[in-house]
Amino acid sequence: MEYCNIPHLLQTVVKAANISNQLPTGENLAFALTDKSYEAQTTDLQMKISDLISNLVRFVTPQTESTEYDDIIEAADQCLEYVAAGLDNKAGIKAVPDLALSKLSLYELPKPQEIFKHTIDNSESPFVPSLDEKPNAMVPLEVYSEGMHPYQYELESLAQEFWQLEPSQVQPFKELEEVSLIMVENPEGFYGMLNELSQAKEIAIDLEHHSFRTYQGFVCLMQISTRNTDYIIDTLKVWDLMPKLLGVFTNPAIIKVLHGADSDIPWMQKDFKLYIVNMFDTGQAARILMYARFGLAYLLETICSVKTDKSYQLADWRVRPLSPEMIKYARMDTHYLLHIFDVLKNELSLKAQQLRLHPLELAREVFQKSRDICLKRYEKQDLKWVALKRGIEFLNPQQQSILDALANWRDEVARREDENPNFILKGRTLISLATDPPQTVKELLVKVHQQSSILQKEANTIVEIIKKTLAKKSEKAVKKLPKIVQPVQKQKKIETHRPVLYEQKFTVKLIPSNKLSIFAPQNKLEPSQKMKEKCQKIAESFTSIFQIVVEEGMEMEIENTTQETTQATQPQDLEEGEEIPQSIQEKYELPLKNKLSSDRKIKTTTKKQKISDKKDIRIGWLDNIELAPVKRKNLFKKKR
């Protein structure tokens, strides 16, 4: 420690992280890469960084040979472990742990599970939703058989009322200080909140969840915002009252606004028997509106100009009392959400009109996607193989059977103690025990850095398991492993599948326009002068064909930089029998080094096209193309 100046190091790292966050990504990156010097610079830098990371990773975990993403994570993990080992476990308990500390799985906070012990079921039997009563029922509870989603019918027959879909009048949002914050920590507070919520037309909801020191995970906090109040519910204090929110949550007259609710929905089912009917997921809206990024932080920044520190996502939300920073973070997750909902609804309506759809169609689409999320059912996790997905393929059959036996042991203990198996023993350690099995407790404890009280207690058992497995003929056990032996690369594949929204027929025609809009993403971080130069460059290569107009978000317009546009752009100039070009790039070979991205290609087709995402119908940087819907299935269904 005395060798390096920690505060300085930290500052530098934070600065580096900040700067790296400002580097262009996605569309912005594609755009930036059209500049050759930028490409050369980044490639150079990339190699340097990659070397540096390799060195670091090898320094921390010398056994590592490659430097895949997972190895980096492992190395970081290992670092934290070293730190943990060097800390007196007791020292930090009173103080609210800072982020780094709270990430340490060895950090011994009292486990709050005692409070809701009666609701923990770590058995392998499937989760069965059990409701005592079913408010807002269209179909009575008795009709449902075990394992069904109790609100399936209500969700499937759900249709939003017009006022819920229509653009709202967007009021300026209220700052945190203008709204009262109520911490809900006792029955009185809870019922008071329930009373206000039941009168609301929309409420925003979010959860904070814990998973390091538990098997199935549990909710530590629920935030709810109305137009007038931010509530932070300490779920650990009012755990058994939480199911009483079901009436509000399933009331279709109250819109529940959440952001990225894919996890929240099952979490609420599991811990509180809560289901949601009529949700608007702002994350889904951001997708349909083609926002550059879909995270809440991005919406907060672009819509509300508020910066957040999303690293609190990973805080240890079990901690009590919550630090003011944690409270603020939690609160901000719902405080602005109703305003964002208003804004997005307006944008959806505008966009629908631009696409010549029914003005409410896209809003309805968001509600439909959100409904699909609400239909999800919580399913228990099986964590036997957690953190064991790498490095297994090199084990011989005997090593595999040891690993299998140890994984079983680890899983059993984790379920019994309500811990994450990776806390009991790291996957990496388990593999090293299998490859080089210790035969005595002493050998075991030398080999394992991670010293938890559970490990001490279980040391004998572990050695017994190893000895027993070694003694057994091992051929048969091998069969149990294959499902975890997956090619590693597959996990990193970027999601390419986009669910089908609806089918639509299009004719796409070139409009005899003399304007080409360059898609210039709103990029506040790029000095506009630089951007201007880049645009100028591109413009110069285009001007023989098009007049350049740069889209909004840029402060510049290049108009009529050259003479009249050539007639070559007119469709009637196409040779007889010649097809409308597949894309402008192909026809005119515009000198873009990188076509902005392959799915930007303009489809000139009158065939049926599955519209899975706005990206397919996005014209991208070409505005002078008209997209004419011919026939559309799955139109706005509601009778008016």
Chain positions contacting Mn ion, by CB under 5 A: 206
Decide if 279 contacts 254 (C-beta within 8 A). Answer: no
Specify the residue, 204 or 508, whose C-beta has the smaller distance to ligand AMP: 204
Rounded to the nearest whole angstrom, what is the least distance from the CB of residue 316 to ligand AMP in the complex?
9
Kindly list the distances between the CA atom of residue 562 and the CA atoms of 319, 413, 529, 554, in Å, as whole numbers in the listed order. 65, 75, 21, 21
Rounded to the nearest whole angstrom, what is the least distance from the CB of residue 267 to Zn ion in the complex?
11
Interface with ligand AMP, residue 206, by CB under 6 A: yes
Specify the residue, 206 or 234, whose C-beta has the smaller distance to Zn ion: 206
Q: Which helix (H) or strand (E) holds 485?
A: none
Cα–Cα–Cα angle for 26, 32, 36, rounded to 5 degrees: 135
Give, to the nearest 10 degrees, the angle between helix 397-417 and helix 427-435: 140
Q: Report the partner that residue 77 touches, choosing among ligand AMP, Mn ion, Zn ion, none (CB closer than 5 to 8 A by kind).
A: none
Specify the residue, 369 or 600, whose C-beta has the smaller distance to ligand AMP: 369
**In the beta sheet, which residues pair with residue 181?**
230
Q: Report the partner that residue 281 touches, choosing among ligand AMP, Mn ion, Zn ion, none (CB closer than 5 to 8 A by kind).
A: none
Cα–Cα–Cα angle for 201, 203, 205, rounded to 5 degrees: 160
Tokens, residue 43: 């490639």
Rounded to the nearest whole angstrom, what is the least distance from the CB of residue 208 to Mn ion in the complex?
8
Q: Report the partner that residue 209 touches, choosing among Zn ion, Mn ion, ligand AMP, none (CB closer than 5 to 8 A by kind).
A: ligand AMP
């009563």: which residue's tokens? Answer: 133
Site for ligand AMP in 116-135 (CB under 6 A): none
Rounded to the nearest whole angstrom, what is the least distance from the CB of residue 373 to ligand AMP in the complex?
13
Give, to the nearest 10 degrees, the angle between helix 453-471 and helix 397-417: 150
Kindly indicate which of the ranges 205-213, 355-363, 411-419, 615-623 contains the residues binding ligand AMP, using the contact rule CB under 6 A. Answer: 205-213
Kindly indicate which of the ranges 206-214, 283-291, 393-401, 423-431 contains the residues binding ligand AMP, using the contact rule CB under 6 A. Answer: 206-214
Out of 74, 154, 208, 419, the only residue in the binding site for ligand AMP (CB under 6 A) is 208
Nearest residue to 358 via CA among 165, 505, 498? 165
Rounded to the nearest whole angstrom, what is the least distance from the CB of residue 1 to Mn ion in the complex?
37
Tokens, residue 421: 């198996």
Interface with ligand AMP, residue 409, by CB under 6 A: no
Binding site for Zn ion (CB under 5 A): 206, 333
Specify the residue, 228 or 263, whose C-beta has the smaller distance to ligand AMP: 263
Site track for ligand AMP across 298-327, x = CB under 6 A: ---------------xx--x----------
Specify the residue, 216 or 523, whose C-beta has the smaller distance to ligand AMP: 216
Q: Report the partner that residue 106 touches, choosing among Zn ion, Mn ion, ligand AMP, none (CB closer than 5 to 8 A by kind).
A: none
Interface with ligand AMP, residue 333, by CB under 6 A: yes
CA-CA distance, 202 to 224, in Å (whole number)?
A: 10
């949601």: which residue's tokens? Answer: 276
Q: Give phi and psi for 516, each to the nearest 5.
A: -120, 125
Q: Report the partner that residue 317 touches, choosing among Mn ion, ligand AMP, Zn ion, none (CB closer than 5 to 8 A by kind).
A: ligand AMP
Specify the residue, 84 or 340, whose C-beta has the smaller distance to Zn ion: 340
Kindly indicate which of the ranges 26-34, 118-126, 201-209, 242-250 contains the residues binding ligand AMP, using the contact rule CB under 6 A. Answer: 201-209
Start-to-end Cα distance in the chain: 71
Contacts of 287 (CB under 8 A, 6+ apart): 294, 613, 614
Interface with ligand AMP, residue 209, by CB under 6 A: yes
**Beta-strand runs (E) in 110-185:** 180-184
Specify the residue, 209 or 498, whose C-beta has the smaller distance to Zn ion: 209
Rounded to the nearest whole angstrom, what is the least distance from the CB of residue 218 to ligand AMP in the complex?
10
Question: How many other β-carbons are positioned within 10 Å of the β-carbon of residue 241?
Answer: 18
CA-CA distance, 53 to 62, in Å (whole number)?
A: 13
Specify the residue, 134 or 331, whose C-beta has the smaller distance to Mn ion: 331
CA-CA distance, 280 to 287, in Å (whole number)?
A: 13
């029998």: which residue's tokens? Answer: 577
Q: Report the partner that residue 13 touches, choosing among ligand AMP, Mn ion, Zn ion, none (CB closer than 5 to 8 A by kind).
A: none
DSSP state of 550: E
Rounded to the nearest whole angstrom, what is the least distance from the CB of residue 161 to ligand AMP in the complex?
28
What are the percentages of helix, strand and coil residues in the chain, rounded to 5?
A: 45, 10, 45
Specify the residue, 154 or 333, whose C-beta has the smaller distance to Zn ion: 333
Rule CB under 6 A: which residues touch ligand AMP?
206-209, 260, 263, 313-314, 317, 333
